[in-house]
Structure 1
Amino acid sequence: MAEAFAPMQGMRTSHSVKLVSQHSGHVSMIPSKPRLQRQGASRNLSNLLRATLSEGGSVEKKVDLAKVGTWFGATVVEVALLSAAMFAVQTIGGYLPPIGYKCLAILFFASMALKSRIFSILDASRPTMGEVQETKRPSWTPPPIVFPIVWSTIGILRTVSSVVVWEAVGRQMLVLPLIAMMTHLSIGDTWNNINNVERRKGSAVAGVAFVWTSVVTCTYLYWKTIPLAGMILAPSVLWLSIASVLIFNIWMLNGYEPILPYKSE
């Protein structure tokens, strides 16, 4: 009987207890102890979430719209400067023999593929080895020597594919596919400022999404212009896909910094 009664007691404790007043006959409900514990735990969880949001700045701090505007503005300015440079190359090329114009175009595309940041109004420096070592990275991160090799290779692919497009469109510079390439390079330079100079790992996650989208768009436009150019540029999409996953993992390993920049107190 005792064993059969034990479950019944357990069932009764999960409900409220009825108390009947001897004088008035009024019935009142008093929550049982387990229910009070659950309610207390719920309140504690709610308070913890509010405290976490407050500490993280999602509630009390304001998004630094000026900083976001600076990033977008710098990107637009760089695209404009690169477009002006392409116009200058095309103008000068008109006075040169065909082989001279082609050499000038190759030199321009190669320079922009590797050093487009000279047109950026932001500091788009590459990270130092010390900064790289200070950052927590996933175990599958490629060794440091891989990065300059890969980026140099991508620079060559950008140059060759751009020259192929340039030839296919009648040696015109200011055409949509080539402007898309300049936009991709400009977005990448702005991302370098966010990630390497300002070291905003959260904003770098959002920024690398723009970089990836721009290279996919550029590759599509190159392929649409002439499939060979799209195929030449395609490996850069693969590499930037890997790089995007790497940036996301670095963000997680280093404390989930805010995605958007917030104004400092």
Structure 2
Amino acid sequence: MAGPRAGSGPPDTAAETREAAMTASLTRRPPSRGRALAGLAVFLLAVAAAALVGVLSAAGTAQEYAALRRPAWAPPSWVFGPVWTVLYVLIALAGWDVWRRRGLRGAPLALGLFAAQLVLNAAWTPLFFAADRRGAAFAVIAALLVVLTATVAAFYRRSRIAALLLVPYWAWTAFAAALNLAVWRLNA
């Protein structure tokens, strides 16, 4: 007796179930223009909220940061604002691109990692600046780098453009982690 024809009826194996789910997510219709713009606004606001945590917790700490011993390769303080402004826009666009292509159901791991890295990003500045906890800040930025690496990999499987948008952020975070470690060690 011959088995059922491929594609007729419900999937028989876990692999077929995964394949069916992947096919369904690949054939997802893109959101309407209005919904896509609303989604972009949500991603921009989420990233802006993380940035605002950083701005508020670093307010009034410029003199303190200037007084810290820093490595010779540390950039001047004025560089951070413009760099982070560009990076935050890229971060929002990357998250939005994955959501726009796959939706929340089509990329739960990728978007969950995106949210986790955003929380870690927001947690770093208060620790480094407001709380003067350079060691704890280094632990957070190291975790951020791990989660961000996983985010880039997860995004790459869904949108190479989104993954590429995160590469400058990854590079800057790696640099910031090295700077955090150096400042912590020089001022211990």
TM-score by length of 1: 0.54
The SS at the match of 1:145 is helix
Residue 101 of structure 1 aligns with which residue? Answer: 35
User: Are 2:58 and 1:126 equivalent residues in the alignment?
Assistant: yes
What CA deviation, in whole Å up to 9, does each residue of 1:203-231 have, x standing for no partner? 22222111111111111111111222111
User: Are 2:136 and 1:203 equivalent residues in the alignment?
Assistant: yes
The SS at the match of 1:139 is coil
CA distance in 1, matches of 2:148, 2:113: 8
Residue 218 of structure 1 aligns with which residue? Answer: 151
Correspondence list, 1:223-234, <5 A:
223-234=156-167
User: Are 2:47 and 1:113 equivalent residues in the alignment?
Assistant: yes
Higher relative contact order (CA 8 A, sep 6+): 2
The answer as to whether partners of 2:99 and 2:107 remain within 8 angstroms in 1 is: no
The SS at the match of 2:75 is coil
Correspondence list, 1:186-265, <5 A:
186-255=119-188
The SS at the match of 1:218 is helix
CA distance in 1, matches of 2:117, 2:56: 14
Pair 125,221 (structure 1): closer, same or farther in 2 beyond 3 Å: same
CA distance in 1, matches of 2:105, 2:96: 10
Correspondence list, 1:1-265, <5 A:
98-116=32-50, 125-127=57-59, 128-170=61-103, 175-255=108-188
Pair 148,204 (structure 1): closer, same or farther in 2 beyond 3 Å: same
Any unmatched runs of 5+ in structure 2? Answer: 1-30
Runs of 4+ in 1 over 3 A off after TM superposition: 170-174
Residue 28 of structure 2 aligns with which residue? Answer: none
The answer to which structure has the higher helix fraction is 2
CA distance in 2, matches of 1:124, 1:210: 22
Identical columns (%): 24
The alpha carbon displacement at 1:124 in A equals: 6.7
Task: Give 1 or 2 for the bigger CA radius of gyration.
Answer: 1
TM-score by length of 2: 0.74
Any unmatched runs of 5+ in structure 1? Answer: 1-96, 256-265
The answer as to whether partners of 1:177 and 1:218 remain within 8 angstroms in 2 is: yes
- Stretch deviating more after TM superposition (131-140 or 234-243): 131-140
